[in-house]
Amino acid sequence: MNESRAAIRYAKAILNQAVESKATDAVEKDMHSVVQTISDSKELQDVLASPIIKGDVKKNALLAVFTGSHSISEGLISLLVDNKRVSLLKDVAQHYIVLNEKLKGEETAVVTTAVALTKDLEAKVLEQLTKLTGKKVSITNVIDESIIGGFVLRIGDLQYNASVANKLNSLKREFSNSL
């Protein structure tokens, strides 16, 4: 919980700095790169989480990985390493993206499914979400086989869980309570 609040604070600070410098889109591009790179690399996740690896080594590695990033993005990396919060980098990047999209009047919906959405189905979901919110919406499809089937839709603070796993858990609770 505190980790998430800290990540939001860092993201807000970086967003304010990017707005002042008129570099919100460049920094958002960097943040997408950060999220993608950290998500794709188990080794990088291990390096960031390791208490044994010194901060300078982490900083140099991250600056080498994200060469060509905006100075604000590089400053974020340095700041997180100096404050011993580098493990928050991915969370800060994700929160920055969401905050910047809200600033632009856009929303991001996360649709979790057991299998990837088809282009046709994604277009239908996008159309319904645009009608529902009245804003420009983009979709991120997360694949989680543990939901068995159906979907979980999360947009902003709202979540709609229409997964098979959720329905099975509800039945299980209902049977347990009636015994």
| φ, ψ (nearest 5 deg) of residue 137 | -125, 140
> Are 21 and 81 contained in the same domain?
yes
The predicted model scores a pTM of 0.67
| CATH code for the domain of 124 | 3.40.30
> Are 81 and 125 contained in the same domain?
no
Are 107 and 136 in contact, with CB atoms under 8 Å apart? Answer: yes
pLDDT of 3: 60
pLDDT tens sequence across 2-16 = 567 898 999 999 999
Secondary structure of residue 107 in the 3-state scheme:
strand
For residue 1, is pLDDT > 50? no
At 142, which helix (H) or strand (E)?
Answer: strand 136-143
| CATH code for the domain of 52 | 1.10.520.20
pLDDT tens sequence across 60-69 = 989 999 988 8
> Are 32 and 78 contained in the same domain?
yes
Question: Count of domains in the chain?
Answer: 2
| φ, ψ (nearest 5 deg) of residue 53 | -75, 130
> Are 56 and 75 contained in the same domain?
yes
Decide which of 102, 118, 152 is a domain's last residue.
102
pLDDT of 10: 94
Least Cα distance to 62 among 42, 38, 85, 83 occurs for 38
What are the Cα distances from residue 23, in Å, to 8, 16, 19, 89, 104? 19, 10, 6, 19, 13
> Are 132 and 94 contained in the same domain?
no
> Are 96 and 53 contained in the same domain?
yes
> Are 77 and 111 contained in the same domain?
no
pLDDT tens sequence across 117-138 = 899 999 999 999 888 888 888 8
pLDDT tens sequence across 30-67 = 998 998 898 888 888 888 888 898 989 999 989 999 98
pLDDT tens sequence across 75-120 = 999 999 999 899 899 889 988 988 898 888 888 888 889 998 899 9
| Domain extent for 48 | 2-102
pLDDT of 79: 93
